[in-house]
Structure 1
């Protein structure tokens, strides 16, 4: 079952519809969707390393546009933004982000945009905090671009060797990945 799912994802990543799906996930993740675009970016770059930077560009542009939607939700639709943060399990983090924006401003976007912390938390909170929209946009381009281009570069050059290893021990790496993912969510909740 796991092998069939893996093969299906790799096939989808190589399909002609993959870039549109990547754009949709990147856009949605920045404002309301809980799954990061990396889950599509990685297999797409593995399937087509020659298009790694095209995929990174798609992720960056769509993520920034989605971030603009997240900012707009926070800025103009505060209760909706607070509800989205609550539904995605980040309601407690919103107050902390507003305090961070008040003290650190630009650095919150630049640092948090590179981390696995859900970017929607940054975008919606920036709108709620009424942070400068212009600064938010250019900082998002820099930080999201750096993240996706770095990921695409690493996968392009080191991915094939990693792919061979993962395919040999797919079940082991799936279990390890799930443990890390669940552990990350628990750590975010505790922090």
Structure 2
């Protein structure tokens, strides 16, 4: 059995697992940090459209928990007491792709110009959400506004996907089953990338 067949079988087991709701919750929470959960969510909902809205609700709650964890990290671990960058912050600058000193200052400007609307954009669109969650803590965005905006943005994203699959479930399910091999390739590639990043960081 090659890695793609193994990943395909793992994916099918996840969908049919009695712990599928826990998997959805954890995946959404982790997505607020690094893991690209949306692809997995997309096809879980496609193959189980009857639970679409329940998946959306659980994913929104999970995303909020993950976002709050990242907010706390940014708020408490980004700067030293003398206002210099902490070793944690320098680790991000040195190792996380796209997270440079320049991009950090650009995000700071976006907050000045757009405020919490930037959080909503990051929560709803493919922009890496961890950039918004961590920097919200760094720039000490009002926590209540952060929570409300995260729920609105992530909720809109997950419930929109849920609505589409619930409404057109049978047609999309057929396509999802047809292209399950390509889904498996994508998931296996993602797992390999995460493994390489872990090896690199260690």
Residue pair 1:90, 1:121 contacting (<8 A) in 2 also: no
Q: Tell me how far 1:116 sits from its aligned partner.
A: 1.1
Gaps (5+ residues) in structure 2?
79-85, 191-202
- Residue in 1 aligned with 2:52? 52
- Residue in 1 aligned with 2:158? 148
Q: Return the TM-score normalized by structure 2.
A: 0.75
1:1-191 map, 5 Å: 1=2, 2=4, 5-30=7-32, 32=33, 34-78=34-78, 79=86, 80-81=88-89, 83-84=91-92, 86-92=94-100, 93-168=103-178, 173=182
Coordinate RMSD, CA, aligned: 2.7
Aligned residues: 176
Structure with bigger RCO (C-alpha 8 Å, 6+ apart):
2
What's the CA shift string for 1:64-91, capped at 9, x where partnerless? 1111111111111113356346533232
Structure 2: distance between partners of 1:82 and 1:104: 26
Residue pair 1:14, 1:47 contacting (<8 A) in 2 also: no
Rg bigger for which structure? 2
Gaps (5+ residues) in structure 1?
182-191
Paired residue secondary structure (1:130): coil
Residue pair 2:60, 2:158 contacting (<8 A) in 1 also: yes
Paired residue secondary structure (2:18): coil
1:133–1:14 distance in 2 versus 1, CA, 3 Å: same
**Structure 1 stretches of at least 4 aligned residues deviating more than 4 Å after TM superposition:** 173-178
Residue pair 1:110, 1:139 contacting (<8 A) in 2 also: yes
Q: Return the TM-score normalized by structure 1.
A: 0.79
